[in-house]
Amino acid sequence: MNGNRVVRLTREIRFFLSAESAPQAAGPVLNSWSGWPSSRTVAPFLSLQCTLEGAIDPRTDYVCNVKQVDAILRQQVICDVWTKLGNRLAATTPATLLEEFWHSAAAHVPEGTTLSELRLRVSPFFSFTLHRARFPMISASQQFEFSASHRLHNLALSDEENRRLYGKCNNPHGHGHNYVLEISLELTPDQAQDYSTAQTEQIVKSRVIDRLDHRHLNVEVAPFDRLNPTVENIAVTIWDWLVSDFSESSRLSRVRVYETPKTWADYFGPNHAGDQ
């Protein structure tokens, strides 16, 4: 019934990668949740998210078996890259590591699937991603935090309509959130090799965080004195503040704002029309 339905399936593995410890000698996988191979030393802890695209198999109802994906990533991809880079791992950039993972994963994907996306998380808050549709461009994503209060209130509506539409979020005294902001930049392979988190951090801090952190948005921050500060409008406004700063060395490709861990908004710019 679903055999002609194309689906993207993502599987994540977590692992330590050390020049001193060959993954081939790590033994059986005992705790895939916290990571394999593991390490007794201070080694980079990474995660790799592999997205495969394919039709649902009418016999198994899978795109593919995730156990097969695990085996490919652990026994083929990680081992291939460790063998190739060896003692150079400590000096390897995340972009190079991701590119090597991509080439190995693409060569070993399960039959009937295509490698759609590969994301290397250097930390829970910083990642590099390769998309098949935009290969070899690399996306670098970094998270930031700010705390702010706001009141959801549309000036074009009456007070009664606002109360009915927004409920307690229309409280005249406002309410607060610990927002998480994620900035994604699209880089050429050369730019990704030289990517500086410090430069991005300086731009985002001066353009966004210093403006919004510990502020009442409706009262203290333009344009929210006249623009309803929904999470959607906050994402678009942050895009407008940042887009020109990244036009030369890299391209701003997405702004994501988490209002809560369960609610977030993405904005890809005014000309966005395709899949991200």
> Could you say which of 99, 117, 182, 259 is catalytic?
259
- The secondary structure of residue 86, as a DSSP letter, is G
Give residue 2's pLDDT. Answer: 54
Q: Which residues contact 167 (CB under 8 A, 6 or more apart)?
A: none
Give residue 244's pLDDT. Answer: 94
Active site residue 150: no
> Could you say which of 161, 175, 214, 272 is catalytic?
214
Question: What element of type H or E holds 67?
Answer: helix 66-71
> Could you say which of 79, 100, 103, 169 is catalytic?
169
**Bridge pairing between strands 215-216 and 138-150:** parallel
pLDDT tens over the chain, length 276 residues: 455 789 999 999 999 888 877 888 788 888 888 888 777 777 788 999 999 999 999 999 999 999 999 999 999 999 999 999 988 988 899 999 999 999 999 999 999 999 999 999 999 999 999 999 999 999 999 999 999 999 999 999 999 999 999 999 999 999 999 999 999 999 999 999 999 899 999 999 999 999 999 999 999 999 999 999 999 999 999 999 999 999 766 899 999 999 999 999 999 999 875 455
Active site residue 169: yes
Cis, bond preceding 229 (omega within 30 deg of 0): no
Give residue 92's pLDDT. Answer: 92
Give residue 31's pLDDT. Answer: 85
- Alpha carbon 27 to its chain centroid, in Å, reads 31
Give residue 197's pLDDT. Answer: 92
Active site residue 214: yes
Cα 244 to Cα 269: distance, rounded to the nearest angstrom: 12
Written as six digits, the tokens of 260 are: 């809560």
Q: Environment class of residue 180 by beta-carbon count within 10 Å: exposed (0-12), middle (13-18) or buried (19+)?
A: middle
Cα 233 to Cα 169: distance, rounded to the nearest angstrom: 15
Contact between 179 and 259 under an 8 Å Cβ cutoff? The reply is yes
Cα 52 to Cα 102: distance, rounded to the nearest angstrom: 12
Cα 269 to Cα 241: distance, rounded to the nearest angstrom: 12
Q: Residue 132: what are its φ and ψ, rounded to 5°?
A: -60, -40
Q: Which residues contact 131 (CB under 8 A, 6 or more apart)?
A: 116, 117, 137, 139
Q: What DSSP assignment string belongs to 199-248? A: HHHHHHIIIIIHHHTTEEHHHHSTTTTTS---HHHHHHHHHHHHGGGGTT
For the entire predicted model, the pTM comes to 0.90
